[in-house]
Structure 1
Amino acid sequence: MPKKVYFLKRVLSSLGGLEKYTSHLADAFKKQGKEVHFICQQQTEDQSLPTLTLPTPLCLFNYQRIKSFDQGCHYLFRKEKKNALFFGTDRSSSQHIYRAGNGVHAYYLDKRMQESNKFKRFSLKYNPLHQTLLDIEKRAFESPSLQFLITNSQMVKKQILKHYNTEEERIKVIHNGVEWYKWQNPFNESFDICKSSLGFHPDLPLLLFVGNGWERKGLKELLEALAVVKSKGIGFQLAVLGKEKNIKYYKELTNNLKLSSNIKFVGPCKQVISYYQIADVAIIPSHYDPFANVTIEALAMGLYVISSKNNGGSEVLTPQRGLIIDNIRDKEGFAFTLEEGLKKMKDKENASKIRNSVKDFDFSLKLEEILQLSAKVTL
C-alpha cells in the first residue's frame, strides 16, 4: 500500500456519523505511518487536519457543488492514482476504495417514489440534485478503477446488487464500530446519574431519538405512534437530539398531538453520551438508514433498541438487544412495539448483558478489517 492516503469527503463536521467514522479511519491509517490528507470542498472545523480544499466555482445550488467536487476529485485521481490510495467516503465517482456510508440513492429514491403522490413523484424524478447523485453513484459503483466497495450492512449490499452492475466479489460488508472500551467508564457511571440531571422525570421511562434530518429519520411517525401510547395512559418521556431545518413543524405537531409535556427537543448535541447514560431505550424509526450509528452506540451503553427494518443496523439486533418495527406507518403496530420497549427500563444486569454482547463491534476490530482490505489495493 502507498505511503500517502487521500480521503474524499466534501464537507467535514464533528456532528454526523459519517464524519466521525471518517475521522476514526484517518487516525487508523496515521497509526500505520501513512501520510493522510483530506480532499474537501469546504474547510474543516479542525484546522490541524492536512486538507486540500478544491476550488469551487460560484454555485447557486447544492447539486452544482456536489458535481464540482466530484469533478475535482476525478481530476486529482487521474493525476495521482499511481502514487496514493484514494479512499472515498462521500459522493465521488473516482477512488480505489469506496465506503458507501450514504447507502444507495437509487433505492432510496425508488422508495420515496412509491410513497409519494403524483406531484411529488414528478419533482423527485426531475430534480437535478437527485439526477446528479444517481449519475455519480452509478459511475462510482460500476467504475473499473474501484477495487473494493465497503458497505456497512447486508441490506445496502443487496440494494447495490439490485440496482447496479457491480461484481459481488468487490463488495465487503463491515458493520459500523463503536468505542466499546473507551465507553466502559461512562457506562459504569451511568447507574449513578439521575435523569433529573438533564431535566427529565427521574421515574418515567426515557426514550432517546438521535439523528439529523428528521423527515428521513421518521420522527413524525414516532410522534404519531407515541400519541397512541399516551392515549392508553402509559407514561413516558422522549429526548430528541439532532439538527433539523424545519424544527418549528415538529414542535407544532408535538403540540397538536398533546405531547408537549412528554417531549424535550434538545437540538444538536456533541455530548450524546450524556443522554445514553440516562436513557432506557433508543428509538430509530428511519425511513432509510444504511446503518444508523446510534444503533451500535446505544447497545454499547446498555440501551434496549427499537429500530425500523429500514435501518441496516437492525441486522445486529437480537431479542435480547431490541425489537424491529415492520412498518412505521402502521401507528397501532408501531405503538404496540413502543409499549413493549417501555417495559425495558434499564437496570445494571440487563444493560451489562446488552453491552457485553456487542464487544466485538469495537472500532479497533472494525478498522483493522478495513486496513487489511486496503492493503490488498494495487496501484
Structure 2
Amino acid sequence: MAHLSTCKMSHLPTKIAILKSGLTHKGGIEKQTRCLATAFAKHGCDVTILTSGNPTNDINNDSYQTVSLASKSKLSLAHIMRYNKACTQWLKDNPKDIIFGMDRNPYQTHYRAGNGVHRAYLKHRAMTDGWLRRASFLVNPLHRTILNLERRCFECPELKTLFVNSQMIADQVAEYYPQAAQKTRIIHNAVEWNAMADAFNLAHGKKALLCHERELNPDCLQLLFIGQGYRRKGLDFLLNGLAILSGHQIELSVVGKDRELKRYRQLTHELGLSRCVHFFWSA
C-alpha cells in the first residue's frame, strides 16, 4: 500500500484509525485487522483500532492502541447503529489522516470489502430461499441498514481505495456501484508461507494418518471448506454441486461454526451426501 511509505517520510507519524466493530471472533477479517495494524505500526504510523466489546487480547498491545467505543449488543441492528454513531463522534473529536474500514461504515478513506457486496449476497440468497424470505429482504431493517451503509461507503467522495480479494467481488462492485469501480484494487488472500511451510511440507506424508484420525477415505479427492457463515460463503451451492457429482470419489470437510448447522446437516442428508460430507469444529 502506497500510504505505508509515507509514515516514515513525514516528520510527524501518519495517524491511522482502523475500524472493526468486533475483534473477539477468530475469523479472517479479525486476523487481517491485527495484521494491518501491526504493519502500519512497524512503518512508524500512529495506529488506533476502533472496536466494541472487550477485546482483551488487543488492549495491552504495544504496537497499536485499541479503543472500545460501545458494548456488544445481541441484536445485530442495534450494534451496527450504535457502533457507527460512536465511530462518527470519535473521529470528529480525534481527526486522522487515514480511516481504514474493515466493516461497512459511512465514512472512510480506505475500505477492505472482506464481506463482499451485500446486494450481490442477497441476490444469491434469493436463488435458494423461499418466496417469503425473499420478500423479507425488502423490509428487513437489518438488510436495509447494511445496504444503506454499503451504498454510503462505496459512494463516499473521500474513499480513495476499495480493496477486494477476488475478481468476482470487483465485478460485483462494478455492477452495483460503478462509481467505485475505478477505486477498486484486487489483493488476493495470501498464505503465511514461512509460518506454515513445515505443515505444508509434511501434509502429503501425513495424509493417510490424518484421514484415519478424521475417518476420511484417503482414496477420495478431499475438498476443504473453511469459514463461519456457511450461507454467505456459498455452502448451499457447493453441496448441490457435489450432489451432481455423486458418482465420483469426493469428500468434503466443512470447518467452522454456523447457527444453521442443523439445517445443513439435514440438507446433506436430503442430497444423499451424509457419507461424504463431514462437519468439524462446528459446535
Q: Which range, TM-score by smaller chain?
A: 0.7 to 0.9
Deviation at 1:264, TM superposition (A): 2.2
Partner of 2:269: 255
Partner of residue 133 from structure 1, selected from 146, 157, 177:
146
| Aligned partners of 1:151 and 1:172 also within 8 Å | yes
Question: Match for 1:76: what amino acid?
Answer: W
- Normalization by structure 1: what TM-score? 0.62
Q: Secondary structure at the match of 1:137?
A: helix
| Aligned partners of 1:153 and 1:175 also within 8 Å | yes
Q: Secondary structure at the match of 1:52?
A: strand
1:160 matched to 2:173? The reply is yes
Deviation at 1:113, TM superposition (A): 4.3
Question: Match for 1:97: what amino acid?
Answer: H
Partner of 1:343: none
Partner of residue 205 from structure 1, selected from 211, 218, 221:
221
Partner of 1:35: 46
Partner of 1:219: 235
1:172 matched to 2:188? The reply is no
| Aligned partners of 1:106 and 1:134 also within 8 Å | yes
Partner of 2:260: 246
Higher RCO (CA-CA < 8 Å; seq separation 6+): 1
Partner of 1:96: 109
Residue ranges of structure 2 left out of the alignment (5+ in a row): 1-6, 8-12
Q: RMSD across aligned C-alpha pairs, in angstroms?
A: 2.7
Partner of 1:77: 91
CA distance in 1, matches of 2:79, 2:224: 34
Count matched residues. Answer: 265
- CA deviations on 1:47-85 (whole Å, 9 max, x unpaired) are 43432111349x66311210111111112222323x442
Deviation at 1:150, TM superposition (A): 1.9
* Alpha-carbon distance change, 78 to 158 in structure 1, aligned in 2, over 3 angstroms: farther
- CA deviations on 1:182-241 (whole Å, 9 max, x unpaired) are 3322221112212224432333332222222222333334334434444x3x43432111
Partner of 1:63: 77
Partner of 1:6: 17
CA distance in 1, matches of 2:149, 2:270: 41
- CA deviations on 1:130-170 (whole Å, 9 max, x unpaired) are 11011111111122222222222333233223323635443
Partner of residue 142 from structure 1, selected from 144, 155, 159:
155
Q: Secondary structure at the match of 2:269?
A: helix
| Aligned partners of 1:88 and 1:98 also within 8 Å | yes
CA distance in 1, matches of 2:265, 2:130: 25
| Aligned partners of 1:142 and 1:165 also within 8 Å | no
1:182 matched to 2:195? The reply is yes
CA distance in 2, matches of 1:101, 1:143: 18
* Alpha-carbon distance change, 254 to 37 in structure 1, aligned in 2, over 3 angstroms: same
Residue ranges of structure 1 left out of the alignment (5+ in a row): 270-379
Partner of 2:67: 52
Q: Secondary structure at the match of 2:116?
A: coil
* Alpha-carbon distance change, 153 to 228 in structure 1, aligned in 2, over 3 angstroms: closer
CA distance in 1, matches of 2:119, 2:32: 23
| Aligned partners of 2:173 and 2:181 also within 8 Å | no
Q: Secondary structure at the match of 2:195?
A: coil
* Alpha-carbon distance change, 64 to 268 in structure 1, aligned in 2, over 3 angstroms: same
Q: Secondary structure at the match of 1:244?
A: coil
CA distance in 1, matches of 2:266, 2:128: 24
Q: Secondary structure at the match of 1:208?
A: strand
Q: Secondary structure at the match of 2:238?
A: helix
Deviation at 1:126, TM superposition (A): 0.5
Deviation at 1:117, TM superposition (A): 4.6
CA distance in 1, matches of 2:128, 2:242: 22
Q: Secondary structure at the match of 1:214?
A: coil
CA distance in 1, matches of 2:162, 2:268: 41
